[in-house]
Amino acid sequence: MIIDGGLSNALADRGHLLADDLWTARLLRDAPQEILAVHRTYFEAGAQVATTASYQASVGGFVAAGIGAAEAERLIVRSVELAREAADGFPDALVAASVGPYGAVLGDGSEYRGRYGLTAGQLRDFHRPRIELLLSAEPDLLAVETIPDVDEAAVLAELIDEYGAPAWLSYTIADGRTRAGQSLEEAFAVAAGVDAIIATGVNCCAPADVLAAVETAVAVSGKPAIAYPNAGETWDAGNHRWVGTSSYDLALVPTWRAAGAEHLGGCCRIGPATITALSVLVSG
């Protein structure tokens, strides 16, 4: 299964500035047709799955930006509707509703650190309403992604189990550990007993970190792995930009597949051209 690439970089390439705390979610209000166009571009590039523009969307975040609560709820639902509209005409195309970590809504790079100082109950209270809104729009599955912390993943796994909607659970990692510093064995064990989690793995990490993580994910969870790293650059939260040079190399992909990665794509700074090349490589 080929997943799409980064939404933010594709929107930036179309001339949109995404330097505020709402990031791509702002365009759900300001330019929804641009989000639709990017989804469609990825389908045309060979992606089979569109991840929605809800990664950084939350009712609280929209309200803080001056948007009413009712409108905020409508915009979160709209993220699924836009991806579904883009999927029209592409047989077997799927819509994955993005559920990003709590840290994403803070806009300060917390999703690359974890350890927010919140209790499990507080995290559950944050995630539950958004998941319910997304599920009300009937996506094909949930993309629970860029999770930096086992504690947050455990809360999300409980919610996935409760609602029974198919989902993947994907961590952001660095140097063989979660961003919060926990072992990957502990991280992927969270998914092992949850039937609704159909795959587990990593995203928004350096390509070099993928292989060992996929091997661990498969061994510990007993599920197929998912892998969609970023381009290998580093996020500068203070200036809202990526720095460094790309290290994404398609030559790595066969090793990921051999290790058990059945779902492949790209995250930040991976665009339609790379998804096309990935699709050709996998289908060949």
Domains of the chain: total? 1
pLDDT at 269: 83
* Average pLDDT over the chain, rounded to an integer: 93
Question: What is the signed CA dihedral for 145, 102, 231, 187, rounded to 10 degrees?
Answer: -50
Radius of gyration of the chain (CA): 17
What's the rounded Cα separation, in Å, for the pair 101 and 147?
5
Greatest Cα pair distance in the chain:
49
What's the rounded Cα separation, in Å, for the pair 164 and 133?
15
* Band of residue 245 on the pLDDT scale cut at 50, 70, 90: confident
Q: Please say if the pLDDT value at position 20 is more than 90.
A: no
Give the rounded percent of residues in the chain with a pLDDT score beyond 90: 82
Whether residue 1 lies inside any domain: the answer is: no
pLDDT at 166: 98
Question: What is the signed CA dihedral for 236, 240, 243, 245, rounded to 10 degrees?
Answer: 130
Treating both helix axes as pointing N-terminal to C-terminal, what angle do 32-45 and 272-283 enclose, rounded to 10 degrees? 30
Q: Please say if the pLDDT value at position 5 is more than 90.
A: yes
Burial status of residue 240 (CB atoms within 10 A of its CB: 0-12, 13-18, 19 or more): middle
Q: Please say if the pLDDT value at position 284 is more than 90.
A: no
pLDDT one-digit tens code per residue, 85-105: 999 999 999 999 999 999 998
Give phi and psi for 269, each to the nearest 5: 75, 10
Q: Pick 155 or 107 by higher pLDDT.
A: 155
Q: On the CB side of 105, how many CA atoms lie within 13 Å of its CA? A: 20
* Band of residue 12 on the pLDDT scale cut at 50, 70, 90: confident
pLDDT at 235: 67
Whether residue 90 lies inside any domain: the answer is: yes
Q: Please say if the pLDDT value at position 237 is more than 70.
A: no
Q: Please say if the pLDDT value at position 197 is more than 80.
A: yes
Q: State the CATH number of the domain containing residue 268.
A: 3.20.20.330
Whether residue 152 lies inside any domain: the answer is: yes
pLDDT one-digit tens code per residue, 91-146: 999 999 999 999 998 878 888 899 999 999 999 999 999 999 999 999 999 999 99
Q: Please say if the pLDDT value at position 233 is more than 80.
A: no
Take residue 58 and report the two structure tokens written for it. 């939350």
pLDDT at 268: 86
Whether residue 270 lies inside any domain: the answer is: yes
Whether residue 272 lies inside any domain: the answer is: yes
Whether residue 2 lies inside any domain: the answer is: no
- Residues 213, 200 contacting (CB under 8 angstroms): no
- Residues 228, 266 contacting (CB under 8 angstroms): yes
In which domain, by residue range, is 40 found? Answer: 7-283
What's the rounded Cα separation, in Å, for the pair 57 and 64?
11
pLDDT at 38: 97
Q: Which of 41-50, 69-78, 99-108, 249-258 has the lowest mean pLDDT?
A: 99-108
Give the rounded percent of residues in the chain with a pLDDT score beyond 70: 97
